[in-house]
Structure 1
Amino acid sequence: MTHRPIIGVTLDAEQPGGYSKLPWYALRQNYFAAIVEAGGLPIALPHHAELAEAYLDEIDGLMVTGGAFDVDPALYGGGPAHQTVVLKSGRTDFELAATRGALARDMPVLGICGGEQLLAVALGGSLIQHIPDSVPRALAHEQPNPRTEPGHEVAIAEGTLLARIVGRARMAVNSAHHQAVAAAGDGSVVNATAPDGVIEGIESTSHRFALGVQWHPEYAVDAADPLILRAFVTACR
């Protein structure tokens, strides 16, 4: 059997209620299934920022997942938090420590949705706190139709790692976000944009694989989505 690289997957965290009367971790199964299908061995990473380096010692690649929360604007000089901003500081502290540690090691990183935004911040970029208030005539980036269907298309920038991976100029993507990258950090480039100009993907030009996409390729809405997961796992070998 071909060696399966170990992929650390960040978890979401919820307060008591629903699944448990105590705080609990959660993540959709398709994140893990997509990694397995791509040839990786996923393991979940609890939120202990002080153990980020120890976790990184044990894995071959890092996937930073999405969730219904936002990166603290204080981390990117974003000013006062918009009224829609929801924070999960323990999760962000861990993900930022793990992402920065992975980048310092040149370990492959894939950021998905909120994970793309966090990757951008780790690379020195900034975020739009609320798309409807900042982008005139913006698309419905929190799409009303199911996430298993596309919400809009994105244009893929020529010459980027993402373009080489998917081999096409456009993709259909699902859309589940009210924030977006405002500016990629130094040494980073935008690799995908929505028709309204909203940034939908970024990547580092100074790391062998540090890629972020605003959509959710684990749903395989577009035939090219599994190629993103496969390229990430291959980079982790």
Structure 2
Amino acid sequence: MNAPRPLIGVTLDSEPPTPGGYSGFPWYAIRQNYMDMIAACGGLPVALGHEPELAVELVARLDGLVVTGGAFDVPPDLYGGGEWHATVQTKPRRTLAETALIRAAMARGIPVLGICGGMQLLAVVLGGQLVQHIPDTYPASLAHEQPNPRNEAGHDVHVVPGTHLARLVGQDRLAVNSAHHQAVSDPGRAVVCATAPDGVVEAIELPGYPLCIGVQWHPEFGISAGDHLLFNGLIDAARQTGT
């Protein structure tokens, strides 16, 4: 008899009412490929709404957590970032809920994967800091908001040898897609496990934890074998949690 699929919570994005659009009332959103990738790698994905007061109860039923990305930023107030850059846009309730979910997941010791904005929030929860706008800090930076489609590679990243990420993907270089204007400047209690050629941090992980990894790209698109191996690693770790 096959073992049950581990239950993987996936955070949702939120959108305001859009008269004439999807709904005239507030609505949740997620790209289908987040769920598809988790299911393809052996997990059972379930969507998580933005109820921070229910985070502990929700996480008690999960075997793993994926904190997704979105077109918004972590409020600089949460990491002592000083004056807000003009480009910063926030979704306070989403951030509050995802923060509560990350903390609850780590208190339980279940695997956590942060993707793009989810990596940035993970770094902040771990005591880190962010660059509010990459071009201001890295004048010669790559196009981290790549002009080509998201299901294509935008640049390569160097994977730090000996890290958990390196063991999962089995490579020291990955082609990744890229859609972010902010980045991690200080990973806090985490360590950097991948960087872009321009020095921008592309992945972090928490040593000594079953699996706690944040990646700045969008592996749910599965543009490389490494993307699939990362999700396989998440599901394998979650399976151990559920046993």
TM normalised by structure 1 equals 0.98
- Separation of aligned partners in 1, 2:79 and 2:126: 10
1:142 aligns with 2:145: yes
Structure 2 SS opposite 1:142: coil
| Residue 4 of structure 2: aligned partner | 3
User: Which of residues 82, 85, 89 is equivalent to 2:85?
Assistant: 82
1:201 aligns with 2:210: no
| Residue 230 of structure 2: aligned partner | 228
Q: How does 1:1-237 map to 2 (within 5 A)?
A: 1-17=2-18, 18-186=21-189, 188-237=190-239
- Separation of aligned partners in 2, 1:32 and 1:80: 36
- Separation of aligned partners in 1, 2:14 and 2:150: 21
- Separation of aligned partners in 2, 1:155 and 1:111: 18
Cα deviation digits, residues 100-151 of structure 1 (max 9, x gap): 1111221110001111111111111111000011112000000000001000
* Alignment-mate amino acid for residue 125 of structure 2: A
TM normalised by structure 2 equals 0.96
Unaligned runs of 5+ in 1: none
Cα deviation digits, residues 177-231 of structure 1 (max 9, x gap): 0001011112x11000000000000000132111000001110111211000010
* Alignment-mate amino acid for residue 199 of structure 1: V
| 1:35 positional shift | 0.2
Cα deviation digits, residues 41-99 of structure 1 (max 9, x gap): 00000000000001011111110000000001111111111110000000000000110
* Alignment-mate amino acid for residue 234 of structure 2: F
Q: Runs of 4 or more off by more than 4 Å in structure 1?
A: none
- Separation of aligned partners in 2, 1:185 and 1:3: 35
- Separation of aligned partners in 2, 1:136 and 1:22: 41
Unaligned runs of 5+ in 2: none
- Separation of aligned partners in 2, 1:120 and 1:197: 17
| 1:2 positional shift | 3.1
* Alignment-mate amino acid for residue 207 of structure 1: Y
| 1:10 positional shift | 0.2
- Separation of aligned partners in 2, 1:81 and 1:38: 39
> How many matched pairs?
236
Q: Is 98-107 or 170-179 further displaced after alignment?
A: 98-107
- Separation of aligned partners in 2, 1:2 and 1:173: 32
- Separation of aligned partners in 2, 1:55 and 1:39: 21
Identity of aligned residues (%): 59
